[in-house]
């Protein structure tokens, strides 16, 4: 049995027979995994009407434990400012996040979880961990450790080269 990226690799190899397409084997699979994880169909987030990126904002506010600005939230959730703004609008509409204007600079806002937002995170996070654990159950503990280590190494390489690959 092959994954979806194996077929993509064969197609590229047919289109460019002499070209080394090895990066597609890694980057393509990372992108495909990320896409499937972001969709998160059927899990506890779907049941609550949330996407992972929205929960990332709620989770950041919960784990940091104090107000954050939208810029700080973007940094904490590895998202763009525009994406955070869109997600915050949805979360505010649902009454999960509250916004407070800065007393000295009205252009700056401070965000926090509402009581309902905090209760939601506290209730759903253990379920999300169990769901994610089930997603990884097809890998042995050693495979999960190896994968985490390899991804950490790749992340360090990519973070270290920020800007220098452009």
Residue labelled with tokens 């979360």: 91
pLDDT at 165: 53
Rounded distance between C-alpha atoms, residue 11 and residue 66, angstroms: 50
Residue 37 backbone zone (phi > 0: left; psi -120 to 50: alpha; other: beta): alpha
pLDDT at 161: 76
- Residue 99's DSSP bridge partners are 111
Write the CB contacts of 35 (distance below 8 Å, at least 6 apart in sequence). Answer: none
Write the CB contacts of 118 (distance below 8 Å, at least 6 apart in sequence). Answer: 62
Residue labelled with tokens 């992340």: 155
pLDDT at 28: 95
Residue 101 backbone zone (phi > 0: left; psi -120 to 50: alpha; other: beta): beta
Contact 51, 45 (CB under 8 A): yes
Determine which helix (DSSP H) or strand (DSSP E) holds 136, and give its type and residue range.
none
Q: What is the fold, at CATH topology level, of the domain defined by 44-137? A: Arc Repressor Mutant, subunit A (1.10.10)
For the entire predicted model, the pTM comes to: 0.84
Written as six digits, the tokens of 162 are: 């920020």
pLDDT at 116: 97
pLDDT in tens, the chain (166 residues): 899 999 999 999 999 999 999 999 999 999 999 988 887 667 899 999 999 999 999 999 999 999 999 999 999 999 999 999 999 999 999 999 999 988 888 888 999 999 999 999 999 999 999 999 999 999 999 999 999 999 999 999 998 976 555 4
pLDDT at 162: 61
């Amino acid at each position: 049995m092959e994954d979806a990226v194996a077929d993509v690799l064969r197609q590229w190899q047919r289109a460019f027979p002499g070209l080394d397409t090895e990066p597609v084997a890694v980057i393509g699979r990372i992108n495909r995994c990320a896409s499937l994880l972001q969709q998160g169909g059927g899990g506890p987030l779907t049941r609550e009407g949330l996407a992972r990126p929205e929960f990332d904002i709620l989770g950041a506010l919960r784990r940091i434990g104090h107000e954050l600005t939208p810029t700080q939230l973007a940094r904490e959730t590895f998202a763009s400012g525009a994406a955070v703004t869109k997600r915050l609008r949805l979360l505010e509409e649902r009454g999960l996040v509250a916004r407070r204007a800065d007393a000295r600079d009205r252009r700056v806002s401070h965000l926090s979880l509402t009581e309902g937002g905090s209760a939601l995170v506290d209730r759903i996070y253990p379920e999300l961990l169990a769901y994610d654990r089930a997603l990884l159950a097809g890998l042995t503990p050693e495979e999960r450790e190896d994968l985490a280590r390899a991804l950490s190494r790749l992340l360090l390489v990519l973070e270290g080269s920020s800007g220098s690959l452009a």
